[in-house]
Structure 1
Amino acid sequence: MLFRCLLITLIAVAFAPRIQATPVDVDAREIEGRAYICPADGVYPNYHNCTTFITCSNGLQYVMPCPEGLIWNVNTSECDWPYNTECVSYPREIKDG
Structure 2
Amino acid sequence: MLNLFIILFSIILYCQSTVNGLDFECPTKDIIETKCLGPSDCLYAHPYRCDQFVLCLINKDGKTGRPVVKTCPQGLEWNDNTKSCDWPQSSTCRQLRCPVWDIIRTKCLGPKDCLYTNWLNCNTYIQCTVNPDGRTGRPVVMPCPAGLKWNNRNKVCDRPERATCRH
Q: How do 1:33-52 residues align onto structure 2 when only pairs under 5 Å count? A: 35-39=23-27, 40=31, 41=36, 42-52=42-52
Unmatched tracts of structure 1, length 5 or more: 1-26
* Secondary structure at 2:89 match in 1: helix
- Give, in whole Å, the separation in 2 of the partners of 1:73 and 1:28: 27
Moved over 4 A (4+): 31-34, 90-93
Higher Rg: 2
What is the total number of aligned residue pairs between the two structures? 67
User: Once superposed, what is the RMSD of the aligned Cα atoms?
Assistant: 3.0
TM-score, normalization: structure 1?
0.55
Unmatched tracts of structure 2, length 5 or more: 1-14, 37-41, 59-64, 97-117, 122-167
TM-score, normalization: structure 2?
0.34
- Give, in whole Å, the separation in 2 of the partners of 1:87 and 1:45: 8
Equivalent position of 2:72 in the other structure: 66
Confirm or deny: 8 A CA contact 1:53 1:65 kept in the other structure. Answer: yes
Flag the structure with more relative contact order, 1 or 2, with Cα contacts below 8 A and sequence separation at least 6. Answer: 1
- Give, in whole Å, the separation in 2 of the partners of 1:82 and 1:76: 13
What is the Cα deviation at residue 29 of structure 1?
A: 3.5
